[in-house]
Structure 1
Amino acid sequence: MRLIALMQGEHRVTSDADEVISTVLGSCIAACLWDARAGIGGMNHFLLPDGPAHDGASLRYGLHAMELLINALLRQGAERSALRAKLFGGAHLQPHLPDIGHRNLTFAQEFLRREGIPCIGGSVGGDRGRRIRFWPVDGRAQQFLLPPTAVQEGPAPAAPRSGEVVLF
């Protein structure tokens, strides 16, 4: 197994069964999409649902991140009609600040609905961060909930910790 760490504003697509994509999320969203028949999948990690069109860091925004992920999957042989999704993240970590996690989640769910891509699982909302591992070839995902004060979004540590949950 090769663990590929995904940072904010990045995406990764692969058909390599030995690759596992991992990231750490708070209010951000990671969309995990795959086509099991083609044996290809990928993940993105976006920070905000939308932003200015002229922003050079547009990979941080949901619309651009979702389009890049889907287009990369299709270029590498995935069939749009066979795509399935799992969403992770969207936590509300700072009660005294606006709920960006909810905005991110609403955007991602609506985007998938408009695109006709079924969201068949994941873990969203709440007040805790998550470390996610995603097996893009078959769509398996694993989540580790983080202590409330431990979220620092970015790449995940390689070693699993207690409290592991496997999502199918």
Structure 2
Amino acid sequence: MTRLTVLQGQFRVSAGPRVELSTVLGSCVATCLFDPDAEVGGMNHFLLPEPPASHARDEVDVHYGVYLMEMLINEMLANGARKERLRAHLYGGANIRSGMAQIGTSNANFARGFLDRERIELVREDLGGVSARRVDFRPASGMVRCRTVASTEAPDIKPQPQTRTAQHRGEVELF
């Protein structure tokens, strides 16, 4: 089995039957998408739902779910998936640090709403609470293992500036 780690602000797509995508989440959310007929799937890991209104429109910041969801879907379509067959799992969205903004809740609500708007079936979710999670996803089959881990294992939310202008990043097709 080849294990590929999906870090904050990343997504990966694979059709390999011996590939497993893994991540550890705190308040971040990971979306695991798969097309059971094409046997292709992918995972993203986003820190925040959407950029603030002051964010430049021509920049794609991969820390935001609104971009990573579209990038994941587009890459899956490029690898043979069909949007009407996509199935999803959602994980993470914990509110680990008390007294702080409910970032995990915002991320979870965004992810559910996005799937609903895009008419992508949500097969399973493990969102919210106060515990970090480790997610292992086999993209070709859609199988997922999610388990809680010590909150110290969750990555800190420290988005590094990785904005790119849309023309240099590639095309992002918004549905």
TM-score by length of 1: 0.87
| 2:49 matched residue in structure 1 | 49
Residue 54 of structure 1 deviates from its aligned partner by: 5.0
| 1:162 matched residue in structure 2 | none
Q: How far apart, CA to CA, are the structure 1 residues paired with 2:76 and 2:141?
A: 14
| 2:16 matched residue in structure 1 | 16
Runs of at least 5 residues in structure 2 that lack an aligned partner in the other structure: 158-175
Which segment drifts farther, 53-62 or 118-127? Answer: 53-62
Report if the CA contact (8 A) 1:15-1:39 is conserved: yes
Count of matched residue positions in the alignment of Structure 1 and Structure 2: 154
Question: Which residue of 118, 122, 130 corresponds with 1:119?
Answer: 122
TM-score by length of 2: 0.84
Runs of at least 5 residues in structure 1 that lack an aligned partner in the other structure: 155-168
Aligned pairs for 1:4-153 (under 5 A) are: 4-51=4-51, 52-54=55-57, 58-152=61-155
Report if the CA contact (8 A) 1:46-1:62 is conserved: yes
Residue 55 of structure 1 deviates from its aligned partner by: 8.3
Q: How far apart, CA to CA, are the structure 2 residues paired with 1:90 and 1:119?
A: 16
Amino acid at match of 1:118: E
Q: How far apart, CA to CA, are the structure 1 residues paired with 2:11 and 2:137?
A: 12
Post-superposition, which runs of at least 4 consecutive aligned residues in structure 1 deviate over 4 A? Answer: 54-57
Q: How far apart, CA to CA, are the structure 1 residues paired with 2:70 and 2:61?
A: 11
Report if the CA contact (8 A) 1:24-1:153 is conserved: no
- Calculate percent identity across the aligned residue pairs: 41
Q: CA RMSD in A?
A: 1.6
Residue 143 of structure 1 deviates from its aligned partner by: 1.3
Residue 95 of structure 1 deviates from its aligned partner by: 1.1
SS at match of 2:31: strand
